[in-house]
């Protein structure tokens, strides 16, 4: 337990706790990989380093941001939240280390291994994670979260299709499999944001009347699925535009009820609201893209960097602080990391909107801001996530 010496100095518990709970290793490897891989992607664009052995550089970048970075964060979150949801233990120690090693092996294999080996190792991870989560969720009859198992299996299936398409075995564009996976992750964020953002805001600001409207949440999710599915299968503007516009309006309405302006002096809260705020804008851009008024990649990057990236940087700081026994207060370094992620989104939107002559410069600026944000997180949280909880509790 944390205690005071006779001199009055605080004694910080010592020890190695990296593999005590899933968020610890997965948040660290995800942050470091995200920062380095994005810098690597820009270096590939500029011809400074060699392309991956297996995949073309663009496909590698698209795949790794979803199946590498985002899936690692999802793994850390679910392995941690799963214990709270079910009351059952999730992997720790050697089993957790092996799960992390499988994820790392997939990242390395996609860079240097032959295609069959790389695809096999990479395809295994989401199914192993699904099996782990199924063991605790089904065993505890936690029916509210059965969809988590289905989502992980769907991500695994999308990954298999991606590798088969990249190898020319199935007649599907690999980018379509990545987009399907991106939309699955976005759907998870929509569901989880509806749970955590109003809850965290209401807990921190009890005098604020946070509106929780289950019917609006359900309607928002429904139109979200319709808009994303319509875009994915290419139904065209007649279907995509109205559904995406309806999703934009509903997500803006539900967030307005959560009191976002009241959180502006609390970075640990406004970071969550800032990530969610990209959601209605992303759907508005999706509607415009279906009408050929903006490039489709602009909407995709708002979803990927703004919504998913913004929510990730907010959640991996908040959950890491809480689960290491620290106060839920974002310091200057965390606040800078939050801001850098959103700077990266703005720069990437500009890259997709300006004339071609400045494209690479805006891409580089976006990548630099993004990488600095996650390198800052990594440097700040390595000692916190390697060491034990300050309160002496397990986890």
**31-41: pLDDT as tens digits:** 999 999 999 99
How many whole angstroms separate alpha carbon 277 and alpha carbon 310? 9
Question: How does pLDDT run across 284-301, given as a tens digit for each residue?
Answer: 999 999 999 999 999 999
Distances (CA, A) of 389 to 16, 48, 78, 94, 200: 10, 42, 19, 19, 21
Q: Is the pLDDT of residue 10 over 80?
A: no
List CB contacts of 383: < 8 A, sequence separation 6 or more. Answer: none
Question: How does pLDDT run across 90-109, given as a tens digit for each residue?
Answer: 999 999 999 999 999 999 99
How many whole angstroms separate alpha carbon 392 and alpha carbon 280? 42
Does residue 217 lie in a domain region? Answer: yes
- Rg of the chain in Å (alpha carbons): 21
Return the residue matching tokens 């959950």.
319
Task: Report the percent of the chain where pLDDT is more than 90.
Answer: 86
Does residue 343 lie in a domain region? Answer: yes
Distances (CA, A) of 58 to 55, 165, 312: 8, 15, 23
- Spatial contact of 349 and 359, defined as CB atoms under 8 Å apart: no
Comparing 13-17, 335-339, 370-374, the range with the smallest average pLDDT is 13-17
Comparing 142-151, 196-205, 210-219, 346-355, the range with the smallest average pLDDT is 346-355
Which runs of consecutive H residues, i.e. helices, occur in the chain? 23-45, 57-63, 71-86, 94-112, 115-139, 146-166, 174-204, 214-233, 237-256, 267-290, 296-301, 310-323, 332-351, 359-386
SS3 10: strand
Question: How does pLDDT run across 76-92, given as a tens digit for each residue?
Answer: 999 999 999 999 999 99
Return the residue matching tokens 């996650």.
374
Q: What is the CATH number of the domain that holds 336?
A: 1.20.210.10
Does residue 9 lie in a domain region? Answer: no
What is the pLDDT at residue 6?
Answer: 43
Question: How does pLDDT run across 193-228, given as a tens digit for each residue?
Answer: 999 999 999 999 998 889 889 999 999 999 999 999
SS3 126: helix
- Spatial contact of 157 and 181, defined as CB atoms under 8 Å apart: no
What is the pLDDT at residue 372?
Answer: 98
What is the pLDDT at residue 39?
Answer: 94
Does residue 369 lie in a domain region? Answer: yes
List CB contacts of 270: < 8 A, sequence separation 6 or more. Answer: 260, 263, 264, 338
Please tell me the pTM assigned to this model: 0.94
Q: Is the pLDDT of residue 177 over 80?
A: yes
Q: Is the pLDDT of residue 256 over 80?
A: yes
What is the pLDDT at residue 394?
Answer: 82
DSSP tag of 81: H
Does residue 102 lie in a domain region? Answer: yes
What is the pLDDT at residue 9?
Answer: 55
pLDDT, the chain, mean? 93
Distances (CA, A) of 99 to 118, 185, 283, 310: 16, 20, 35, 26
pLDDT band of residue 12 (cuts 50, 70, 90) is low
The total of structural domains in the chain comes to: 1
How many whole angstroms separate alpha carbon 320 and alpha carbon 329? 11
- Both tokens assigned to 214: 């289950």
Neighbours of 169 (CB within 10 A): 10
- Spatial contact of 33 and 107, defined as CB atoms under 8 Å apart: yes
Does residue 4 lie in a domain region? Answer: no
- Spatial contact of 230 and 240, defined as CB atoms under 8 Å apart: yes
Segment 36-49 mean pLDDT = 90
pLDDT band of residue 2 (cuts 50, 70, 90) is very low
Does residue 325 lie in a domain region? Answer: yes
Return the residue matching tokens 């809260």.
269
Task: Report the percent of the chain where pLDDT is more than 70.
Answer: 96
Name which residue leads in pLDDT, 11 or 351: 351
Does residue 129 lie in a domain region? Answer: yes
Give the structural domain span for 344.
Answer: 16-386
Distances (CA, A) of 279 to 151, 170, 284: 20, 32, 9
pLDDT band of residue 353 (cuts 50, 70, 90) is confident
């Amino acid at each position: 337990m944390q205690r005071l010496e006779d001199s009055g100095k605080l004694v910080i518990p010592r020890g190695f706790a990296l593999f005590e709970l899933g968020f610890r290793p997965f948040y660290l490897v995800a942050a470091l990989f995200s920062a380095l891989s994005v810098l690597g992607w820009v270096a590939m664009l500029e011809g400074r380093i060699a392309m991956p052995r297996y995949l073309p550089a663009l496909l590698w970048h698209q795949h790794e941001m979803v199946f590498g970075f985002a899936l690692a964060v999802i793994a850390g979150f679910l392995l941690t939240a799963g214990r709270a949801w079910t009351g059952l233990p999730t992997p720790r120690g050697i089993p957790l280390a092996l799960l992390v090693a499988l994820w790392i092996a997939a990242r390395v294999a996609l860079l240097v291994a032959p295609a069959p080996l790389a695809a096999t190792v990479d395809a295994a991870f989401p199914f192993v994670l699904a099996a782990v989560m199924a063991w605790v969720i089904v065993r505890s009859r936690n029916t509210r979260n059965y969809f988590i198992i289905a989502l992980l299996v769907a991500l695994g299936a999308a990954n298999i299709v991606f590798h088969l398409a990249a190898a020319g075995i199935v007649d599907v564009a690999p980018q379509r499999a990545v987009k399907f996976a991106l939309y699955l992750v976005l759907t998870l964020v929509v569901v989880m944001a509806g749970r955590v953002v109003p809850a965290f805001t209401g807990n921190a600001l009890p005098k604020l009347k946070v509106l929780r409207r289950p019917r609006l949440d359900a309607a928002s999710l429904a139109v979200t699925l319709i808009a994303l599915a319509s875009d994915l299968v290419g139904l065209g503007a007649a279907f995509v535009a109205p559904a995406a516009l309806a999703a934009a309006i509903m997500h803006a309405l539900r967030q307005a009820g959560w009191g976002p302006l009241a959180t502006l002096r609390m970075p640990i809260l406004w970071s969550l609201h800032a990530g969610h705020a990209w959601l209605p804008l992303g759907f508005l851009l999706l509607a415009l893209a279906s009408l050929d008024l903006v490039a489709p990649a602009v909407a995709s990057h708002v979803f990927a960097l703004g919504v998913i990236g913004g929510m990730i940087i907010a959640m991996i700081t908040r959950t890491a602080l809480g689960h290491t026994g620290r106060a839920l207060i974002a310091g200057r370094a965390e606040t800078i990391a939050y801001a850098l992620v959103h700077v990266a989104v703005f720069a990437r939107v500009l890259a997709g909107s300006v004339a071609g002559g400045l494209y690479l410069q805006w891409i580089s600026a976006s990548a630099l801001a993004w990488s600095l944000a996650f390198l800052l997180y990594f440097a700040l949280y390595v000692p916190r996530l390697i060491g034990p909880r300050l309160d002496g509790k397990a986890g």
